[in-house]
Amino acid sequence: MLKLKSVDLKKVKISTLAVPVCEDKDIHGGVLSKLTQQAINIEEFHGKKDEELTLYNPSGTLTERVQFIGLGECANLDPEKLRAFSGKAVKAAIKKGLKDIVIGTPSSDRLSMTEADLVSALMEGACLGNHVFDKYKKDKKLKPLKQITLMVSPDSVKKFAKLPKRVEAICKGTLLARDWVSTPSNDKTPSQLSKIFINMAKKENLKTTLLNPKQLQQGKFGALMAVAAGSSNTPRLVVLEYAPKGAKQTVALIGKGVTFDAGGINLKPTGGIEDMKIDMSGAATVAATLITAAKLKPKVRIVGVMPLVENMISGSATRPGDIIKSHAGKTIEIGNTDAEGRLILADAMSYAKEKYKPDVMVDVATLTGACVVALGEKIAGLFTQDDALAEAILASGQKTHERTWRLPLPEDYKELLKSDFADTNNMSSTRWGGAITAALFLSGFAGDTRWAHIDIAGPAYQKKGSAYCDAGGTGFGVRLFCDLMDRLG
């Protein structure tokens, strides 16, 4: 679907060409530069941010339509603006019912960006924008494009020959996670979701393990079972494993998989409950990362652990005040049944540690509303005591624009999780700093394993569509993790 090609616009007939334009500098060479000039000569188009202009059959080419999109000032151009450009161009083409698009790549020597970054960003935006989630609509008008071609020099076609396949694999992983997150909870109960993950993973020859409710009970996953107690949809735990020969490091990725978070007996109110199908986003990110890793083949061994439960309210639900025993043996007083994510993660983390002995463990979870209050809807919270791991995750976030921001894990705040009756409480004694106390709770189950926690409650989902992502699940974390695996290898 993604291709790099050298195209002679004077000789080859093209249906749609998308061209990015800066307002203060010509960023193209050759025919693209001449085309840009034709556009700029038209009064209403200057290349200002978000300005658009379509020319039909412009002179000097055999191109049916050229879609110019303004990027604003050249000095402000970065890979994310290029992703947004190509995402927008693809979305516009889908709306018009077109089947393919050619993207005019600027010359990197006119930009302060490496050609690799430039080409990757354009391909990513286009591929991520080429997605329609219409499974539940009768009317399936919008069809993703069949072909996306980046117009580059013959030299670059050779230099970046392996890039399209890699970018496509990563973006397809992201789209997979988006679809899973957008799927309603009635179609992704823990049992259904475990099958979806395992079937997909088997196709990629990953090793898969499924723990059923009986095995979870026998394995003493007391915290996970306590969350699952209120639902007739029984829990599962899925492990996907990618184990290349000669791997020197094992990374465990743990993903929160609450297929619906009603809050339990501490029932969520209207306004807070409607979007809670997204509470398995962490698990979606981990499963999609493993499936993508099978294609990208990084050097590290990756173990993805996904506890899947539904947090419901019923006569069999766990009560506030109940005391349960976690897989690690630590007793937990349930201060609030809506703080369920940390409970299933605690059991998944101690299981991952005991069974797979990872060198590094990273969990990803839609864990707290407090993190969204702190960092908004586009930036994830990052918690770790390990500076090197923090650096690597921050760098991957920067590179992929799946941004994380490091927050502290202050030792003295651990007091807030004390219980009079059990080893710990799952709820802080104060309402303040909820993202931090949640992370501190998890830290109590990481032991001495290098560990980081990423709170994606904000960026896992968006209510309104953006340049290269429609409303719904965003697949946040898949691109970040794919980049991170190379840094840890």
Site for Zn ion, rule CB under 5 A: 258, 261, 279, 338, 340-341
Residue 79 vs 264, nearer CB to Zn ion:
264
- Restricting to residues 448-477, which ones interact with ligand BES according to CB under 6 A? 457
Residue 261 vs 470, nearer CB to ligand BES:
261
**Distance in Å, CB of 426 to Zn ion, minimum:** 10
Q: E strand or H helix at 440, and its extent?
A: helix 434-443
Phi/psi region, residue 282 (left: phi>0; alpha: psi -120 to 50; beta: rest), is: alpha
Outline where DSSP puts E strands in 347-477: 360-365, 380-384, 404-406, 424-425, 450-455, 461-462, 472-473
374 touches which of Zn ion, ligand BES, none (CB within 5 to 8 A by kind)?
A: none
Does residue 203 sit in helix, strand or coil? helix
How does 388-400 read in b/e, with b if 16+ C-beta sit within 10 Å? ebbebbeebbebb
Residue among 157, 369, 406, 466 that touches ligand BES (CB under 6 A):
369
Residues 100, 105, 111: CA angle, nearest 5 degrees: 155
Can 325 be counted among the known catalytic residues?
no
368 touches which of ligand BES, Zn ion, none (CB within 5 to 8 A by kind)?
A: ligand BES
Residue 251 vs 344, nearer CB to ligand BES:
344
How many angstroms separate the CA atoms of 261 and 280, rounded?
9
* Position closest to ligand BES via CB: 369
CA-closest candidate to residue 82, choices 24, 45, 124: 124
Residue 313 vs 394, nearer CB to Zn ion:
313
Q: E strand or H helix at 343, and its extent?
A: helix 341-356
Site string for ligand BES, 307-336 (x = CB under 6 A): -----------------------------x
127 touches which of ligand BES, Zn ion, none (CB within 5 to 8 A by kind)?
A: none
Q: Given the residues 342, 353, 403, 479, select the one marked as catalytic.
A: 342
CA-closest candidate to residue 93, choices 134, 123, 126, 120: 126
- Restricting to residues 259-288, which ones interact with ligand BES according to CB under 6 A? 261, 279
Can 268 be counted among the known catalytic residues?
yes
CB of 242 closer than 8 Å to CB of 201 = no
Would you count residue 219 as binding ligand BES (CB under 6 A)?
no
**Distance in Å, CB of 193 to Zn ion, minimum:** 15
Q: Specify the stretch interacting with ligand BES by CB under 6 A; choose among 34-42, 103-111, 237-245, 339-347.
A: 339-347
Cβ count within 10 A of residue 325: 17
457 touches which of Zn ion, ligand BES, none (CB within 5 to 8 A by kind)?
A: ligand BES
Residue 94 vs 345, nearer CB to ligand BES:
345
Q: Specify the stretch interacting with ligand BES by CB under 6 A; choose among 44-52, 171-179, 369-377, 416-424.
A: 369-377
What values do phi and psi take at 467, rounded to 5?
A: -50, -45
CA-closest candidate to residue 130, choices 88, 75, 162, 183: 88
CA-closest candidate to residue 172, choices 289, 280, 257, 4: 289
Residue among 340, 363, 470, 483 that touches ligand BES (CB under 6 A):
340
How many angstroms separate the CA atoms of 477 and 316, rounded?
34
Residue 341 vs 433, nearer CB to Zn ion:
341
Catalytic residue IDs: 268, 342
Which stretches of the chain bind ligand BES, using CB under 6 A? 261, 279, 336, 338-341, 366-370, 372, 427, 434, 457
